[in-house]
Structure 1
């Protein structure tokens, strides 16, 4: 018995979000050298924010909402680093299911809920759910069936998406007045793109990390949050008693299905 490529939809959605939002909002090249962010131009702040994001060794990524054009609202909560370690969850929205994700080294664990099994694995999902029970599926990170989730867990992949799509400067980038986001002082940068408004809130003190990215308009309503920069990914992994071998569940074949 072979199984589906688990995680394709959340990985594809996250990539689409990054390409549509992050690459557009954090645009430009070069690094400004002025010390006071109040005196920097919108483009200089965007440059610094992009460079800060690309230099991070780890971070917590939070996404929610949808990109319009008939897309399904989804959410992701994930702490990840450049070594490919991660810990978090993905929710496919509209009662389509959610899953916990843990990756450490060469191993990855996934714990789908009942809605995930029902909607994402229509052929045999209920049987799989009965076998796995309240355990994680454990597999090798290089298993092709888990490759989408593995890529989602890699901060290098995320940063490459940002870097590769950082030169789209259509629309005027504007700098707003300093304000607050929670307890943080931020400067908002906005850009109009294809009928939508992109807003990037950049930390106004300390390192100019991007803290929140929103897209609104033209059917889209979504948010990306960035936090816990350079903090370690939790090292705790599911115990053997709480794990079930994914190969035993989906079959020994690792060829695409």
Structure 2
């Protein structure tokens, strides 16, 4: 997913920031400060949208998730890149329990043949519930792990940052004063929007390449993930799906 590249330069940065006031800090010092805030966060609200020419039904093109270091999360994913419509689903994970509520398009796109039509009718408006012992639910819930998410960003840096970062003029993103840091890496242009005031958190990151663009927004650093889970009467056990189509169950793309 595009998250592997977004803000990779933050993780490639080295050394602590030497100043507190953004106006007195270099682009690299601001990137270092943003890296520390992102690394130290116990939980985050992440919104990501990716546009690419590569057509793939089982890869998320966007997600809106609240997630934490314990692997808990709640939110939604939209499947399908490059113009493919893979449907969408709501996702809740608490401990090793997982609930997913796909729409009809998801079932028809992800489960081939008549089984998809049947699943859309059988599970209409209800969550499929199980645990991470189930390969499908485990694969979908991989996006819920904050440590894995940060690791993906770090691995996306390839161990080296851009040749340089350029500090732009202060602007505003969603009501927050930010300083844009721009650079180029692996043939892609990126901008990191770092909060002007302490703590210097990464607020938004964008990446633009010849055949893809990614926008990621980060909020609610340290705010606990809501612990409400779907009730039993809103849920259907995953075994019902297995009984209906044991060899044709959906999975999330990498």
Do the structures match in fold with TM over 0.5?
yes
- CA change 1:254–1:152 in 2 (3 A) is farther
- CA change 1:43–1:67 in 2 (3 A) is farther
Task: Choose from 67, 92, 100 the match for 1:110.
Answer: 100
- 1:171 Cα deviation from its structure 2 partner: 3.4
- CA change 1:69–1:128 in 2 (3 A) is closer
* 1:68–1:221 Cα contact (<8 Å) kept: no
- 1:144 Cα deviation from its structure 2 partner: 1.8
CA distance in 1, matches of 2:147, 2:245: 28
1:58 aligned onto 2:46: no
Q: Which of 206-215 and 141-150 deviates more? A: 141-150
CA distance in 2, matches of 1:117, 1:252: 13
Q: TM-score, normalised by structure 1?
A: 0.85
* 1:17–1:67 Cα contact (<8 Å) kept: no
**Unaligned 5+ residue runs, structure 1?**
1-15
Q: Which runs of 4+ in 1 moved over 4 A?
A: 67-73, 251-257
CA distance in 2, matches of 1:131, 1:252: 10
- 1:169 Cα deviation from its structure 2 partner: 1.3
Task: Choose from 85, 103, 116 the match for 1:125.
Answer: 116
CA distance in 1, matches of 2:173, 2:11: 18
CA distance in 1, matches of 2:162, 2:183: 8
- 1:24 Cα deviation from its structure 2 partner: 3.9
Which residue number corresponds to residue 34 of structure 2?
A: 49
1:96 aligned onto 2:81: no
Which residue number corresponds to residue 61 of structure 2?
A: 74
Q: TM-score, normalised by structure 2?
A: 0.86
**Unaligned 5+ residue runs, structure 2?**
250-254
1:159-190: CA deviation from partner (whole Å, max 9, x where unpaired): 22233444321332111111111211101111
Which residue number corresponds to residue 131 of structure 2?
A: 140
1:187 aligned onto 2:179: yes
Which residue number corresponds to residue 231 of structure 2?
A: 239
Aligned length: 242
- CA change 1:195–1:119 in 2 (3 A) is same
CA distance in 1, matches of 2:121, 2:246: 23
- CA change 1:254–1:35 in 2 (3 A) is farther
* 2:13–2:31 Cα contact (<8 Å) kept: yes
Which residue number corresponds to residue 35 of structure 1?
A: 20
User: What is the RMSD computed on CA atoms of the aligned residues?
Assistant: 2.5
- 1:71 Cα deviation from its structure 2 partner: 6.6
CA distance in 2, matches of 1:71, 1:119: 11
CA distance in 2, matches of 1:180, 1:66: 24
CA distance in 2, matches of 1:256, 1:130: 16
Map 1:219-238 → 2, pairs under 5 A: 219-238=211-230
CA distance in 2, matches of 1:71, 1:128: 21
